[in-house]
C-alpha cells in the first residue's frame, strides 16, 4: 500500500505523496510526516557494509515512500541525485568529520535539492501547468535548489534571501543563473523570508492557482535524502561502533533527517545539536520551554534561524515529550569569537580547515567528549570553506583556502536580484504579477 502522510497538527488526516510534496505545507500550518516509518529489513543490515551510498539511499527511500513511486523510477532518482561522495575524515582518535560538500554547489543541501527536483519532475510528468518552486534561504539552500532546478522544464524557482546576510559567493550562486531562476533580496532576516514562504502556502486558493511548491526542508522530499549520509558515515566506522552525530543546526532539517535514520534502525549513541547565538533549541532542551525569537546575524549565517521549522517534526518523533527528546538530543551554542578561535586552533592542531558552521560543530563535539570521553563523534561539515572566504582569510590568512573552479567562475558574474520588502502583501502582489 502506498505511503500516506499526515500533518503534525492533524495526525488523523492523510494525503498521498504527490500532495505532500507539491503542496509542501498542510493547511493547518503543520508539517508532513510519513504514516509508517518501519525499520529496514534484516537482509539490509546483513549486507549494508558493502553497499554504496546510492544503494543505501534506494533502500531507505523504498521504506519511507512505500510503493508511492515505482521501484525502477525511485532507484533512478536516487542514483542520479546522490552521485557524489560523502567522505568520513578522521582527525583524531574518535574524532571524525563527515564532508557533505562534494556536490555541485559544495553544500550538503545538494543531496536534498537534487533528489527533490527529480522526484517533482516525475510527479508532474503529466501536468501541463507550470510549477512554481518557492524557497527561503539563509545561504546554501538557495544555491542548491537553483542548481538542481536550473532549466528544468515546467518549473520556475523563486528564491528569497536576506539582504546582506549571506556570503558573497553564496549570493552569486543564487543570483547569476538566470533562466527559470528568480532571486528576491529581502530587506530583513531569514526568518522574514521563511515567514513569507510559509504564509503564502497557507493561502490555499492562491497556492493552488499559482501551482506553488516549496523547496525548503518543510518539504518532506527534501528531508528524506538527507538521512542517506547518516548510514554512509556509520558504515565507515569500525563494526559495532555507535556514532554520536554532531550537527550544525539552523532550521533543524539535517538533525531531523538523522532522527529518521534512527527510526529506520540505525544505531546512534546520541545526537548533538550545535548552534550559534540562535540557540532556541539548546535552550528548549535545557528548560523544556520552546521560545522562538528573531534571529541574530552571525558568521555561521546558514544557522541564523530564530524559529526552526523542523522543531514540529522533532516534537512529533518524540511524542511531544520534552524528556524523551532530551534523552536523545543534546544542544550547545557558541558565539562568533569562539567560532573564530576554533577555526584557527583546529587548523594548527590537525591541519584541517573547518568553515564557520563546521567549527561550531567541532566545539560542540569537544564539549560532548569532555562529558563522554569514549564517544565517537562525527561532525557534519555542511559546506566548503571557500563559500565563506572573507571569514576564512581573516582567520587563516589570504590564500589559505583554495577556491574550487565552480565557485571561482562566479566572482565576475553580475548579480541579478529583485529588492523585496519583508511584507506579505507586497510579496503576494508580486507573486500574482508573475502568475
Q: Express each pLDDT in 216-272 by its tens digit.
A: 888 999 999 999 999 999 999 998 899 999 999 999 999 999 999 999 999 999 999
Task: Give start and end residues of each alpha helix (H) in 182-294.
Answer: 190-202, 204-209, 220-223, 228-235, 253-263, 280-287
What confidence score (pLDDT) does residue 184 get? 97
- Domain-embedded: residue 33: no
- Domain-embedded: residue 355: yes
* 206 band by pLDDT with thresholds 50, 70 and 90: confident
The tally of domains found in the chain comes to 1
Task: Give start and end residues of each alpha helix (H) in 351-423.
Answer: 356-371, 389-396, 405-408
Task: Give start and end residues of each alpha helix (H) in 37-106.
Answer: 42-47, 53-65, 71-81
- Domain-embedded: residue 314: yes
Mean pLDDT of 116-129: 90
Q: How many residues does the chain have?
A: 435
Residue ranges making up the domain that contains 375: 85-106+223-402
**Considering Cα of 402, then 81, then 30, then 127, what sign does the dihedral take?**
positive
Contacts with 371 (C-beta within 8 Å, 6 or more apart), sequence order: none
- Residue 199, Cβ neighbours under 10 Å: how many? 14
What confidence score (pLDDT) does residue 141 get? 84
Q: Which of 333, 329, 323, 262 has the alpha carbon at shortest distance from 295? A: 333
Higher-confidence position of 407 and 276:
276
Q: Record the cell numbers describing residue 91, joined without a space.
A: 582527525
Mean pLDDT of 319-334: 97
pLDDT at 412 over 90: no
Question: Please, what is the average pLDDT of the chain?
Answer: 94
Percent of the chain with pLDDT over 70: 100
- Domain-embedded: residue 55: no
Q: Record the cell numbers describing residue 140, joined without a space.
A: 546554501
pLDDT at 38 over 80: yes
What confidence score (pLDDT) does residue 239 get? 87
Q: Are 278 and 305 in contact (CB under 8 A)?
A: yes
* Angle at which helices 389-396 and 336-350 cross, to 10°: 60
Residues 262 and 353: their CA atoms lie apart, in Å, by 29
Q: Record the cell numbers describing residue 289, joined without a space.
A: 520551554
Pairing of strands 212-214, 131-136: parallel
What confidence score (pLDDT) does residue 76 get? 97
Residues 283 and 132: their CA atoms lie apart, in Å, by 36
Q: Record the cell numbers describing residue 240, joined without a space.
A: 559495532
CATH number for position 344: 3.40.50.1100
Mean pLDDT of 20-49: 93
What confidence score (pLDDT) does residue 271 get? 98
Q: Are 30 and 10 in contact (CB under 8 A)?
A: yes
Locate cell 510528468: which residue?
A: 125
- Domain-embedded: residue 277: yes
What confidence score (pLDDT) does residue 408 get? 82
What confidence score (pLDDT) does residue 268 get? 98
Surface-to-core class of residue 419, CB atoms within 10 Å of its CB (0-12 exposed, 13-18 middle, 19+ buried): exposed
Q: Which of 384, 414, 419 has the alpha carbon at shortest distance from 402? A: 384
Rg, the chain, Cα only: 20
Q: Record the cell numbers describing residue 151, joined without a space.
A: 532549466
Sheet holding 418-420, edge to edge: 212-214, 131-136, 155-162, 181-186, 418-420
What confidence score (pLDDT) does residue 205 get? 86
What confidence score (pLDDT) does residue 284 get? 97
Largest interatomic CA distance in the chain: 58
Q: Are 229 and 261 in contact (CB under 8 A)?
A: no
The DSSP bridge partners found for residue 14 are 6
Pairing of strands 10-15, 5-7: antiparallel
- Domain-embedded: residue 215: no
Distance linking the first and last C-alpha atoms of the chain: 36
pLDDT at 68 over 80: yes
pLDDT at 183 over 80: yes
Q: Does the predicted model carry a pTM greater than 0.85?
A: yes
Q: Record the cell numbers describing residue 362, joined without a space.
A: 567541532
Mean pLDDT of 362-381: 97
For residue 202, what is the enclosing H or E element?
Answer: helix 190-202
* 3-class SS of residue 188: coil
The DSSP bridge partners found for residue 380 are 98
Mean pLDDT of 139-159: 88
- Domain-embedded: residue 4: no
Residues 341 and 318: their CA atoms lie apart, in Å, by 35
pLDDT at 435 over 80: no
Establish how many alpha carbons lie within 13 A of residue 195's alpha carbon, considering only the half-sphere containing its beta carbon.
19
What confidence score (pLDDT) does residue 168 get? 86
Contacts with 36 (C-beta within 8 Å, 6 or more apart), sequence order: 3, 66
Q: Record the cell numbers describing residue 112, joined without a space.
A: 536534498
- Domain-embedded: residue 56: no
- Indicate the range of 83-92, 142-151, 327-336, 422-431 predicted with least confidence: 142-151
What confidence score (pLDDT) does residue 190 get? 87
Mean pLDDT of 174-194: 93
What confidence score (pLDDT) does residue 152 get? 85
Amino acid at each position: 500500500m502506498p505511503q500516506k502522510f499526515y500533518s503534525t497538527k492533524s495526525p488523523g488526516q492523510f494525503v498521498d505523496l504527490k500532495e505532500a510534496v507539491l503542496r509542501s505545507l498542510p493547511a493547518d500550518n503543520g508539517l508532513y510526516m510519513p504514516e509508517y516509518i518501519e525499520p529496514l529489513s534484516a537482509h539490509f543490515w546483513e549486507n549494508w557494509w558493502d553497499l554504496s551510498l546510492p544503494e543505501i539511499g534506494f533502500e531507505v527511500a523504498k521504506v519511507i515512500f512505500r510503493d508511492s513511486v515505482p521501484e525502477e523510477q525511485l532507484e533512478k532518482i536516487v542514483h542520479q541525485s546522490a552521485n557524489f561522495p560523502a567522505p568520513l575524515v578522521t582527525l583524531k582518535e574518535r574524532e571524525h568529520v563527515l564532508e557533505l560538500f562534494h556536490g555541485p554547489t559544495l553544500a550538503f543541501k545538494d543531496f536534498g535539492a537534487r533528489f527533490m527536483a527529480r522526484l517533482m519532475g516525475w510527479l508532474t510528468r503529466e501536468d501541463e501547468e507550470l510549477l512554481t518552486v518557492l524557497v527561503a534561504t539563509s545561504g546554501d539552500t538557495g544555491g542548491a535548489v537553483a542548481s538542481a532546478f536550473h532549466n528544468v522544464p515546467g518549473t520556475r524557482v523563486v528564491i528569497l534571501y536576506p539582504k546582506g546576510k549571506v556570503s558573497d559567493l553564496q549570493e552569486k550562486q543564487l543570483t547569476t543563473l538566470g533562466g527559470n531562476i528568480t532571486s528576491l533580496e529581502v530587506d530583513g532576516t531569514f526568518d522574514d523570508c521563511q515567514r513569507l514562504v510559509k504564509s503564502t502556502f497557507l493561502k490555499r486558493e492562491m497556492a493552488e492557482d499559482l501551482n506553488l511548491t516549496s523547496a525548503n526542508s518543510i518539504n518532506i522530499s527534501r528531508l528524506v535524502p538527507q538521512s542517506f549520509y547518516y548510514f554512509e558515515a556509520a558504515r565507515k566506522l569500525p563494526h559495532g561502533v555507535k556514532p554520536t552525530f554532531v550537527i550544525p543546526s539552523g532550521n533543524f532539517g539535517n538533525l531531523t533527517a538523522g532522527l529518521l535514520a534512527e527510526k529506520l534502525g540505525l544505531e546512534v549513541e546520541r545526537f548533538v545539536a550545535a548552534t550559534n547565538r540562535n540557540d532556541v533549541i539548546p535552550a528548549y532542551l535545557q528548560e523544556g520551554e520552546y521560545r522562538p525569537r528573531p534571529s541574530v546575524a552571525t558568521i555561521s549565517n546558514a544557522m541564523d534561524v530564530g524559529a526552526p521549522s523542523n522543531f514540529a517534526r522533532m516534537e512529533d518523533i518524540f511524542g511531544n515529550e520534552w524528556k524523551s527528546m532530551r534523552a536523545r538530543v543534546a544542544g550547545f551554542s557558541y558565539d562568533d569569537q569562539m567560532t573564530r578561535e576554533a577555526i584557527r586552533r583546529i587548523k594548527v592542531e590537525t591541519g584541517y580547515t573547518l568553515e564557520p558552521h563546521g567549527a561550531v560543530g567541532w566545539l560542540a563535539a569537544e564539549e560532548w567528549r569532555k562529558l563522554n570521553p569514549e564517544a565517537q563523534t562525527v561532525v557534519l561539515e555542511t559546506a566548503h570553506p571557500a563559500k565563506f572566504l572573507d571569514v576564512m582569510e581573516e582567520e587563516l590568512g589570504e590564500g589559505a583556502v583554495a577556491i574550487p573552479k565552480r565557485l571561482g567562475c562566479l566572482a565576475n558574474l553580475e548579480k541579478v536580484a529583485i529588492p523585496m520588502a519583508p511584507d506579505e502583501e507586497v510579496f503576494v502582489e508580486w507573486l500574482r504579477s508573475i502568475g
